[in-house]
Chain A
Amino acid sequence: MWAFWGDLFDSSGFPPRWKCGEWSPGLGWLHIVSDLAIGAAYFVIPFLLAYYATRYKKFPFKGLVPFFVAFVIMCGLTHLMDATIFWWPAYRLSGLLKFFTAIISWASVFAIIRITPQFFGLRSASELEREIAERTADLAESEELLKLAVDVAGLGLMQIDYHTGTTELSSLAAAFFDLPAGKPVPRTVVHDRFHPDDRPELERRIAQCLDSKGDGLFAFEHRVVRTDGSVRWLNVRKRVFFDGNGPLRGVLISADVTERKLAAMVVEASEERLRLTLEAGSMGTFEVDLKTGKSVWNDVEFRLLGLRPGEIEPGPDAFFRFVHPDDLSDVQSKWDIATRTGKFEAEFRIIRADGQLRWIAGAGTFFYGTPEKAEVLPTLARFLGVNYDITERKQVEAALIASDQLARERAEELAATLDAVPAAIFISHDPECQHMTGNRAANALVRIPRGTEISLSAPEGIKPRHFKAMKDGRELRADELPAQQAAHGIPVENFEFTLAFDDGTDREMLAYATTLRNEQGRPRGAISVLVEITDRKVAEAALKAREAQLLSFVEHAPAAIAMLDREMNYLAVSQRWMNDYGREQNLVGRNHYDVHPDLPAKWKEIHRKALAGEPHSNEEDLWVQANGNQLWLRRAVRPWLDASGVIGGIMILSEDITLRKQAENKIRTLNAELEDRVVLRTAQLQEVNLELESFSYSVSHDLRAPLRAINGFSQILIEDYRSQLPADAQDSLHEICDNAERMGRLIDHLLAFSRLGRQELKKSEVSMNAIVQECLSALSHNQSAEFRVAELAPAFADAALVKQVWQNLIDNALKYSRSSTPPVIEIGSRTVDQETVYFVKDNGVGFDMQYVHKLFKVFNRLHHQNEFEGTGVGLAIVQRVILRHGGRVWAEAKPKLGATFYFSLPTEEQSNHDGNH
C-alpha cells in the first residue's frame, strides 16, 4: 500500500485525461478553465478571511477560521489538480489530495454545525422595534457621550446644518471662535473669524468637501482671529454627510494647537539663539519672567555692560540705564512693541560701566506659558533674549559707509574733472541713447542748460530741436550719431561732422565714442567726446585757398615754375615753364619723367630728397638733352606742404641761364684776352720805363757836360780876355753862362720830377714838426722872414718826399714874400675827417685865382722870370708827391695879399685803409 503511494508523483499507468475518452477540445477546456477559476476563487477566500480576522480583533468566529481556511485551500487544490490531470495524470497525488480535502471538509462541517445557531439566529418584528428604540436611545446617549468626550478631550465640536445654513458650536468651540455656544449661528459669522491670510485656502477646501462627488472629508490647520484681536491656531477635522440632494449636515471637530505652534516657534527661536551663540561665542543672554518680573542674565551679559557677573540686579530697567541716551527711547519703544508682538530686535549703543561706547544688537522672543486650565488660553510667560557686541561690525559698516563716501567723492571729483575738461563729453545712459548727460563743455556746446535733455535720440517733445547733426550736406539719422553707434557696441573714432544751429552757426566736430557695458558685457550706454575742429577746418579751408592761390601764382609767375605732386605729376606750371620746357604740350596731369625722359639721374635724386623734405638749389647745372641741346639751368627744388601739413609734392623753379652762361663765357674769354693784353702792355710799359730811365740817365749825364763846357769856356773867355773884350761881348758871355746854368737847373728839376713818378713810397710815421724845423734851419741866415710855426700833426708818409714838399713850399713862400717888410710865413695844420691839412701862408705878392689851375703844372709860372726866378717845377713836384700819398693840394691867394698853399695827407688809419684797396 505504501509502496504504491511512495511514487506519489509517478503518473505511470495512467494516460493523461485528454487521452481518456473522446474529449472534444471544447469540453476539455471547459473543464480546465472552470477548475482553474474555482481553484483561484478558493485561494482568494482564505486571504480575505485571514485579513478580516486579524484586523477585527473582536471577530466572533476565530476558532472556525483555520478549519475554514484549510477547507477552502484544499478545495482549490483539488480543482487545480483536476485541471492538471489533462496533461499530467498524477492520480495518486490527486487521490491523496481529495482524501485530505474530505477530512478537512468534514472537520469544517462539524465546526460549522457548532456555531450555526449563533450565525443564523432569527429575530421577530417586535424584537426589531424594540431594538430600534434601544438603538435611538443608544444613539442619543452616544451623541451625548461624544459631546462629553469631545469636551473632555479639549476639542471643540461644531454641527453644521446645510439646509438652514447655521452652525451650532460646543462651548469649547465657541471659546475658540469667540462665538456664543449652544445655539445655531449663521455659517458666515463663523467664516468671518478666519484669519485673512488663511481664508482663501480654507474656502477653497470647504467648497471641495461640499462637493457630493467627493468623500466629504476635510482636515486643515488654520488661524482664527478673535474679537480681542488675539490669534489662535486650530486643527480642524470635518465630515460632511449627503442626501440625494447634496450636503445635509456636517460634523467638525477642532483642537486648539496654538501652544504647539508657539512651542515650535520657540524651538525655532532657541535654535536661532543657539546658532548665534555658537557663532559669536560672546553672546549675552537675558530672561525675564513676566509673572514674577525677575530677570536672569548670563555672565556675558554682565560683561557686555562692563560689569562683573552679578554686580547689579539684572532687569530691563537696569539694562536701559546703560543704553546711550540718544538710542534709549528707540530701544524702549521697541521693547514695548515686543511685549505685544512677542518679537524684539534692535541695534543700539550702550555706554559701558567703564565709559566705553559699544554697539549692541539685541534680539528676543516671548514664550507662552502652559495654560493652567483647559479654558484658559496660553499667555506670555517669559521673555528670552540675547545681546551681543556688534561694535566691530559697526566699524566695518562705518568703514563701508566711509568707502561709499569715498567712492561718492571720487565720483564727484570725476564729475568736477569732466566739467573742467574743455572737450564736450556726453554720457549715454541707455543703449538707445534716449537719455544723455554731458559735462559743462557739452552743455555749453549744444547750448542746453544742465538738467535738460541733450540727446537727439530722446523722444519727440523732449529732444533738443535747435540744432542738427550734419555730414556731407545731409542730416545724420539718430543711429548714425557717434554716441548712438557706440551705445550699440560700435566704437567710433575720428568721426567728423557738423553741428548746425538754428541761428546759422556751424560747429565742426571730431567725435570719439566708446561703449559702456554692463556686467554681462552687453552695451548699456556710451561715452562720446566731441572736440571742436572748426578752427582747424577754417584753417584747412584757408590752406586750400592758399594752395589755390599758389597754383594761380605758379601759373602766372613770370619765372619757370612747376608744381608737382608726390608722383612727379604736374599740378601747375607757369606760362614761362610751358614756353621753356613744355614743348607745346599741355603738361598738367602728366608725369615729369615721361615728358623729360632725358633728365640726369642726379636730378631725380634731388627730386627724391626734396620729396623727403630736403630743399635744393644750385646756381647752375648743365642739362644735356637727348637731342644734344645743352641747357644751362639755375634751379631751386623744394617741397610744398599740403593742407594737412605734410609734403604734398615739390616745386621746381628753373631758370634757363644758357644765354647768360654764354655771355659769361664770352666775358671770360674777353677777360682772358684783356689779361694777356695787360701783361703785354705792362711789359711794354716796363720797356718804356727802362727807356725813360736810360733817357733820364743820358740827360743827366750827357746833356750836362756840354752845358758845363759852354759855361766853363765862356767863363774862361771872360777871365782870360776880359781886357780885350768889349762890354757887350762880356755881357753876352755872361748871358751864355747864366743860360747854361739855368738849363742845368731845369734838367736837374725835370729829372727829379720824373723820378718822383717812379720812386717807391716808403711810408712811416713822420714828425712834421721835426721836418719843418730841419728845413728852416737849413735856410741862410741872412734872410729876414718871420716864421710862425704852429704845432703840427704828425703824418704817415715818405719822409724824404714830404721834406721835399715842405722845402719847396717854404722856398716858394720866401721867394714871393721877399719884398714884403717883413715877410711873415705861417705854418700850421688841422685834422678833419681822417685827413690832416697842412698849410704854408705868406704875405707875399699872391696871385690871381683865375690862374690857379696853372699853378701846379710843370713849367707853368704865374710870374716872370726876371721878377721871380724859378723853373716851374717846384709846385708840380709838391702836387705829384701829395697825390701819390693820396692827398690833395690847393691854394688860395689874392694879388698882393699873399697866398696860402694847402696840402692834405690821409691819416695813418685812412692811408692803410686805402692801401688795402
Chain B
Amino acid sequence: MTEIIEILLVEDNPSDVKLAIRAFEKNNLANKVQVLRDGEEALEYLFGTGRYAEKTDRVQPKVILLDLKLPIIDGHEVLKRIKSDPQTRMIPVVVMTSSNYEKDMVESYQLGVNSYVQKPVDFEQFIEAVRQLGLYWLLVNKVPYTNE
C-alpha cells in the first residue's frame, strides 16, 4: 500500500475484479489500484466518510473504473454523486460494464461520464481494453491540478 492509488476500481464481481487486476498486473499498474466492492464504499472512499473517515492518507485517484450494476448504491448514482460534487467532479470516470444497452450508455454520458467501455467476453480483448484504459487515463490524459 505504499504506492499512490491512481486507479479506483468499483466492481462487485470477484471474477471480474481478478481478471481486471490480472490485466493491470500485465501492464504494471496493479499496485496503483484500489478495489471497492459496492457503490456505498466507493462514495465513502471518495468523500472520506464512513469506513474511510479515519484514513487521512487517502488521495484522489487519477481515474475511476466504475461498474454500473453495483450492490447498495448502483453505478449511475455513484457517477451522479461524483460529477455533482466539486471535490470529485474533475476525476475522470470510465464506466466498465457488461451491459451493451444504449439506455445505460446514454444515461452515463448525461451524468458526465468520461468514457464508456463494454466489458468483452473474450479475455484477451478484455486485457487489451484495460491496458489501453490505463495507459490513456494515467499517462496520456492531463487533468488540472486540484487544490485540496
B2 to chain A, nearest CB (A): 27
B120 within 8 A of A: yes
Contacts A700-B98, A704-B98, A705-B98; A716 near B123 (Cβ below 8 A): yes
* C-alpha gap A706/B19 in the complex (Å): 12
A257 to chain B, nearest CB (A): 166
Query: Residues of B contacting A707 with CB < 8 Å?
Result: 121
Verify A708–B101 contact, CB threshold 8 A: no
Interface of B is mostly: loop
* C-alpha gap A714/B123 in the complex (Å): 9
* C-alpha gap A748/B119 in the complex (Å): 13
Chain A proximity mask over B52-93: 1 for CB below 8 Å, otherwise 0: 000000000000000011000000000000000000000000
Verify A711–B98 contact, CB threshold 8 A: no
Contacts A737-B123, A740-B121; A700 near B16 (Cβ below 8 A): no
Contacts A701-B69, A705-B16; A712 near B101 (Cβ below 8 A): no
Verify A701–B16 contact, CB threshold 8 A: no
From A697, A740, A741, A743, B101 is in contact (CB under 8 Å) with A697
Interface size of A in residues (CB-CB distance below 8 Å): 23
Chain B proximity mask over A746-760: 1 for CB below 8 Å, otherwise 0: 001001000000000
* C-alpha gap A712/B22 in the complex (Å): 10
**Can you name the residue of chain A whose Cβ is closest to the Cβ of B97?**
A701
* C-alpha gap A713/B123 in the complex (Å): 8
* C-alpha gap A700/B101 in the complex (Å): 8
Q: How many Cβ-Cβ contacts under 8 Å join chain A to chain B?
A: 64
Query: Residues of A contacting B98 with CB < 8 Å?
Result: 700-702, 704-705, 708
Most chain B beta carbons < 10 A, residue from A700, A707, A708: A708
Query: Residues of B contacting A697 with CB < 8 Å?
Result: 99, 101
B124 within 8 A of A: yes
Verify A700–B22 contact, CB threshold 8 A: no
Query: Residues of B contacting A716 with CB < 8 Å?
Result: 19, 22, 123
* C-alpha gap A461/B28 in the complex (Å): 155
Verify A708–B126 contact, CB threshold 8 A: yes
Verify B22–A708 contact, CB threshold 8 A: no
* C-alpha gap A711/B98 in the complex (Å): 14
Query: Residues of B contacting A751 with CB < 8 Å?
Result: 100
Contacts A737-B123, A744-B121; A709 near B101 (Cβ below 8 A): no
Verify B121–A713 contact, CB threshold 8 A: no
Chain A proximity mask over B107-148: 1 for CB below 8 Å, otherwise 0: 000000000000111111010000000000000000000000
Contacts A701-B69, A705-B15; A712 near B99 (Cβ below 8 A): no
Contacts A709-B19, A716-B22; A748 near B100 (Cβ below 8 A): yes
Verify B121–A741 contact, CB threshold 8 A: yes
Verify A700–B120 contact, CB threshold 8 A: no
Query: Residues of A contacting B49 with CB < 8 Å?
Result: none
A715 within 8 A of B: yes
Contacting B at CB under 8 A, from A697-749, are: 697, 700-702, 704-709, 711-716, 737, 740-741, 743-744, 748
From A709, A715, A744, B16 is in contact (CB under 8 Å) with A709
* C-alpha gap A701/B103 in the complex (Å): 13
Verify B97–A712 contact, CB threshold 8 A: no
* C-alpha gap A743/B18 in the complex (Å): 22
Query: Residues of A contacting B69 with CB < 8 Å?
Result: 701-702
Query: Residues of A contacting B19 with CB < 8 Å?
Result: 708-709, 712-713, 716
**Can you name the residue of chain B whose Cβ is closest to the Cβ of A704?**
B98
Most chain B beta carbons < 10 A, residue from A711, A713, A716: A711
**Can you name the residue of chain B whose Cβ is closest to the Cβ of A709?**
B15
Query: Residues of B contacting A741 with CB < 8 Å?
Result: 121-122
Query: Residues of B contacting A708 with CB < 8 Å?
Result: 15-16, 19, 98, 119-121, 123, 126
B51 to chain A, nearest CB (A): 26
**Can you name the residue of chain A whose Cβ is closest to the Cβ of B103?**
A697
A482 to chain B, nearest CB (A): 105
Query: Residues of B contacting A740 with CB < 8 Å?
Result: 121
* C-alpha gap A743/B99 in the complex (Å): 15
A428 to chain B, nearest CB (A): 113
Verify B99–A701 contact, CB threshold 8 A: yes
Verify B15–A712 contact, CB threshold 8 A: yes
Contacts A705-B15, A708-B19, A712-B19; A700 near B99 (Cβ below 8 A): yes
Query: Residues of A contacting B123 with CB < 8 Å?
Result: 708, 711-712, 714-716, 737
B82 to chain A, nearest CB (A): 21
* C-alpha gap A188/B46 in the complex (Å): 195
* C-alpha gap A740/B15 in the complex (Å): 15
Query: Residues of B contacting A704 with CB < 8 Å?
Result: 98, 119, 121
**Can you name the residue of chain A whose Cβ is closest to the Cβ of B14?**
A709
**Can you name the residue of chain A whose Cβ is closest to the Cβ of B99?**
A701
* C-alpha gap A261/B100 in the complex (Å): 168
Contacting A at CB under 8 A, from B17-31, are: 18-19, 22
* C-alpha gap A851/B56 in the complex (Å): 71
* C-alpha gap A709/B97 in the complex (Å): 14
Query: Residues of B contacting A712 with CB < 8 Å?
Result: 15, 18-19, 22, 123, 126
B76 to chain A, nearest CB (A): 13
B68 to chain A, nearest CB (A): 8
* C-alpha gap A737/B123 in the complex (Å): 9
B28 to chain A, nearest CB (A): 17
* C-alpha gap A715/B15 in the complex (Å): 13
* C-alpha gap A737/B100 in the complex (Å): 21
**Can you name the residue of chain A whose Cβ is closest to the Cβ of B22?**
A716
Most chain A beta carbons < 10 A, residue from B69, B97, B122, B123: B123
Query: Residues of A contacting B68 with CB < 8 Å?
Result: 701
Query: Residues of A contacting B13 with CB < 8 Å?
Result: 705, 709
Query: Residues of A contacting B99 with CB < 8 Å?
Result: 697, 700-701
A751 to chain B, nearest CB (A): 8
A35 to chain B, nearest CB (A): 192
Query: Residues of A contacting B120 with CB < 8 Å?
Result: 708, 744
* C-alpha gap A138/B99 in the complex (Å): 206
* C-alpha gap A294/B98 in the complex (Å): 172
B20 to chain A, nearest CB (A): 10
**Can you name the residue of chain A whose Cβ is closest to the Cβ of B19?**
A712
Query: Residues of A contacting B18 with CB < 8 Å?
Result: 712
* C-alpha gap A705/B69 in the complex (Å): 11
Verify A711–B22 contact, CB threshold 8 A: no
* C-alpha gap A737/B15 in the complex (Å): 15
Contacts A708-B123, A708-B126, A741-B121; A713 near B100 (Cβ below 8 A): no
Verify B121–A700 contact, CB threshold 8 A: no
A854 to chain B, nearest CB (A): 28
Query: Residues of B contacting A737 with CB < 8 Å?
Result: 122-123
Contacting B at CB under 8 A, from A841-860, are: none
A216 to chain B, nearest CB (A): 177
Contacting B at CB under 8 A, from A372-431, are: none
Query: Residues of A contacting B15 with CB < 8 Å?
Result: 705-706, 708-709, 712-713
B74 to chain A, nearest CB (A): 11
Query: Residues of A contacting B22 with CB < 8 Å?
Result: 712, 716
* C-alpha gap A709/B69 in the complex (Å): 16
Chain B proximity mask over A68-81: 1 for CB below 8 Å, otherwise 0: 00000000000000
Verify B121–A711 contact, CB threshold 8 A: yes
* C-alpha gap A713/B19 in the complex (Å): 8
* C-alpha gap A715/B97 in the complex (Å): 20
Most chain B beta carbons < 10 A, residue from A709, A737, A744: A709
* C-alpha gap A700/B100 in the complex (Å): 7
B25 to chain A, nearest CB (A): 11
* C-alpha gap A711/B122 in the complex (Å): 6
Query: Residues of B contacting A715 with CB < 8 Å?
Result: 123-124
Query: Residues of B contacting A744 with CB < 8 Å?
Result: 120-122
A-B contact pairs, 18 of them (CB 8 A): A697-B99, A700-B101, A701-B68, A701-B97, A701-B98, A701-B99, A702-B98, A705-B98, A705-B119, A708-B16, A708-B123, A711-B121, A716-B22, A741-B122, A743-B121, A744-B121, A744-B122, A748-B100
3 nearest A-B residue pairs (beta carbon): A744-B121, A709-B15, A715-B123
Known: A708-B16, A743-B121. 12 other contacts (CB 8 A): A701-B68, A702-B98, A705-B16, A708-B120, A708-B121, A712-B18, A712-B123, A712-B126, A716-B22, A740-B121, A741-B122, A744-B122
